[in-house]
Amino acid sequence: MTKVRYDGIRVRLVDANGIEKNVGDTGVDFRGEYSVLSGAEPPLHEGSTGRVYTTQGCFFPSVYRLKWEAAKEEVERLYLETVWVQNGREPGSWIEGV
């Protein structure tokens, strides 16, 4: 599941192994209880971890050993922007159509 975070960064919900989780996936909480992922909200501000919605209710992602991480293409884009800015170029000018 990929969403956009408060700062405009695209993030994806992943488990401890880095596998992306989506609506309909089954998860196990820290008590060993199973439930089905029905939705999620990415962090709304810097101190937030976001929320996951399951058949058992609304929880912090860590209850299901999940976390939000920047999508791979987003990490690459941010790296390229940093390099280009450090070299005095306009961010995004290397991306066709931007």
**What is residue 72's predicted lDDT score, i.e. its pLDDT?**
76
List, for residues 41-85, the tens digit of each pLDDT value.
999 998 999 999 999 999 999 999 999 998 877 777 777 777 767
Tell me the three-class secondary structure of 38-92, residue by residue: EEEECCCCCCCCCEEEECCEEECHHHHCEEEEECHHHHHHHHHHHHHHHCCCCCC
Q: b vs e for 28-61, b when ≥16 Cβ sit within 10 Å of the residue's Cβ?
A: eeeeeeebebeebbbbeeeeeebbbbbebeebeb
Domain segments of the chain: what residues?
2-86
Task: Give residue 51's identity as a one-letter amino acid code.
Answer: R
For the full predicted model, state whether its pTM sits above 0.85: no
**Which has more pLDDT, 95 or 86?**
86
**What is residue 41's predicted lDDT score, i.e. its pLDDT?**
96
Task: Give residue 14's identity as a one-letter amino acid code.
Answer: V
List, for residues 11-52, the tens digit of each pLDDT value.
999 999 999 999 999 999 999 999 999 999 999 998 999 999
